[in-house]
Amino acid sequence: MRTRVVLHLLALWLWLAVGACQAAVLTISSVQSVQSEATAFPADAAVASTSLPDEWSQSRPGHSGSVWYRAHFDKPTGVSDDDLLALYIERACSNLDVHLNGHRIYSGGRMSEPVTRNCYRPQLVSLPAALLEPGDNVLDIQVTGTALKHVAVRGRAGGLSVLRLGPQAEVAALYERRELWVIVTVQIASITLIALGGFLLVLSWINRKERHLKYFGALLIGWALLSLRVWWPHWPLDTRGFELLVCSAFAPVVGVAVQFFLSYAGLQCRRVAGGLLLQCLLMPASLLLAPADDFFMVANAWFALMAAELIAAIACHLILLWKNRRIDFWPMALTSGSMGVVVLLELATQYGWLPLHTMPARNVALPVLLLGIGSRLLQVFGRALQADEINRAQLENRVRDATAEIEHSFAQMSALRVEQVTEKERKRIAADLHDDLGAKLLTIVHTSESERISTLAREALEEMRLSVRGLTGKPVQLADALADWRAEVVSRLGQANIEADWRNPPDELHQQLTARVFVQTTRILREAVSNIIKHSRASHCKVRASVDAVHFGLLVQDNGNGIPMELDGKLDRGHGMSSMKHRAKQLAGQCLVESGPGYGTVIRLTIPL
């Protein structure tokens, strides 16, 4: 409760303090005026009562030169003798001198051509205490200005705002606030626009396809240079030269703005570009040739034309954005649409349809909108860079994959080529073996008188035929291979008086064996049978063939003496076991041997299909 009471009392104190301060500031809105070029107020001339603000475009539309204003005032109530008084003038166009009780106490600059142009700049004039009278004081202000018909913008026609007089601290606050918004803000915005515009020009130079960045960068720099007319008052040009320069500068600025909106929408038209360039030449020529009294009319006709061009470009830009890139529509519609509204308001003010504002919206609102569009462009450009980086990374991955695939394909082609050459050479060797060596071995078999030589020749002929079969590379049906193996094994065991028991899988076999697998398996099986015949002294041999989804197997078991004890643990060193296991390993299979003295020998061969 006490806290609430304290807050109410504090608010009441602040309200009373603000009211006291406002009461201490005297507002002068009624003065006497006379049009005169005299160096002092012409007391003997006919004066007129004038209300402030006094806009010459309405009160004296054809007058160019000086106007004297006289105001009488008493020291504001509530101001002590120690307080320094000051005069705050929001607008005096183009320039002014201030006199207090017959003494000139302030000058805004040159009062003759080329005149100092303070139309947008507020004025703060300190009133010397030594010149103040305790009673009536006379304040004379000489304003030099230009008639509306001789300038391009209504805001640069002559005029004087209301006068505010009071303690230095109070009116200085008004002055500083006004200067912040009208001068300092424009200066900061100009510097920012130049920096951003230069950055966009560099980006457009790096990315030549992004032409809209070039136009927008030129637009920002152009508008920043145009802003010099607001905060730099000391132009070394007379009124006509100054107005001609400023008006002519609007044509290229509007031209790059139109080109930006069209190019950002994806439109390029040489006729439009040529027309805008021609406009930059025709506008200063027409203003230069126009009569002095028609300058405002001709300039505003051009302003209306350029406003129509800009609004048409904005509308075309937004229509195409809505159709093609709807994600960018609303941010651009908000900023560029607001820009179009500001242009229309400014045009309405120029033609007198809206009252003149002491702080034109174009000087503050347009830079803010341009900065908003620039920020959006940077955001879009950043996203495009990010997307390009992602695409580049993806492209690098695709190139890497494609390169790997090409290398793999090349390796396959090289391997295939080697395989083809090898296959061709194998077939040649097989043909040579079959035609030459085979024929000679067959001759020995049939002509030899020695049974031993004939047998060795027959065995060599069989080995040669097996080698030739392997060299030709033709696959063999598993069923046919099992039939050949069975016939050979049963025949060899029968010749050695060993009973053979061979059993194949009951199912039909459709699998195929490569030539290499067939040859190596045949040799393993022959080596196993040879061991049984030569070393086992067996009377019975059992052979079982098995097939599953990925392997086929052979089990060879005899009832012989088994492997001797001295070879126990060293089965790979005797009876050809090492060669059998080595051949199985080459086929990615395995050959297991189980034996013991008096228990016979079991050989388990497993080969992948």
Q: Report pLDDT digits (tens) over 149-194.
A: 999 999 899 999 999 999 998 999 999 999 998 899 999 999 999 9
- Dig out the tokens for 281 from the structure: 């030449």
Q: Where are the domains of the chain?
A: 26-178, 187-390, 391-473, 474-608
Q: Report pLDDT digits (tens) over 189-242.
A: 999 999 999 999 998 898 888 888 999 999 999 999 999 888 889 999 999 999
One of 3.40.30.10, 3.40.50.170, 3.40.50.2300, 3.30.565.10 is the CATH number of 474-608, namely 3.30.565.10
pLDDT score of 432: 52
pLDDT score of 375: 87
Q: Report pLDDT digits (tens) over 56-102.
A: 998 998 899 999 999 999 877 766 767 789 999 999 999 999 999 99
- Domain 26-178: state its class: mainly beta
Query: Residue 495's pLDDT band (boundaries 50, 70, 90)?
Result: confident
Tell me which residue of 93, 187, 178 sits closest to 141, measured CA to CA. Answer: 93
pLDDT score of 214: 92
Q: Which residue has the higher pLDDT, 173 or 495?
A: 173
- Dig out the tokens for 51 from the structure: 């209300």
Instruction: Say yes or no to pLDDT of 401 above 80.
Output: yes
Q: How far apart are CA 145 and CA 69, in angstroms?
A: 13
Q: Report pLDDT digits (tens) over 406-421.
A: 888 888 888 777 767 7
552-565 mean pLDDT = 84
474-608 and 26-178 share a CATH fold: no
Sort strands 92-93 and 137-145 into parallel, antiparallel or unpaired.
Answer: unpaired
Tell me which residue of 286, 216, 289, 287 sits closest to 253, measured CA to CA. Answer: 216
Query: Residue 505's pLDDT band (boundaries 50, 70, 90)?
Result: confident
Instruction: Say yes or no to pLDDT of 473 above 80.
Output: no
Sort strands 476-477 and 26-28 into parallel, antiparallel or unpaired.
Answer: unpaired
Q: How far apart are CA 214 and CA 202, in angstroms?
A: 8
Q: How many CB atoms lie within 10 A of CB 89?
A: 27
Instruction: Say yes or no to pLDDT of 503 above 80.
Output: yes
Of 4-13, 297-306, 396-405, where does the model show the most confidence? 297-306
Tell me which residue of 137, 111, 141 sits closest to 123, measured CA to CA. Answer: 141
Q: Which residue has the higher pLDDT, 19 or 598?
A: 598
Query: Residue 449's pLDDT band (boundaries 50, 70, 90)?
Result: low
User: What is the DSSP code (8-state) at residue 437?
Assistant: I
Tell me which residue of 231, 207, 205 sits closest to 218, measured CA to CA. Answer: 205
Of 263-272, 411-420, 469-478, where does the model show the most confidence? 263-272
Say what percent of the chain tops pLDDT 70.
Answer: 84
Cβ–Cβ < 8 Å for 85, 98: no
Q: How far apart are CA 255 and CA 269, in angstroms?
A: 13
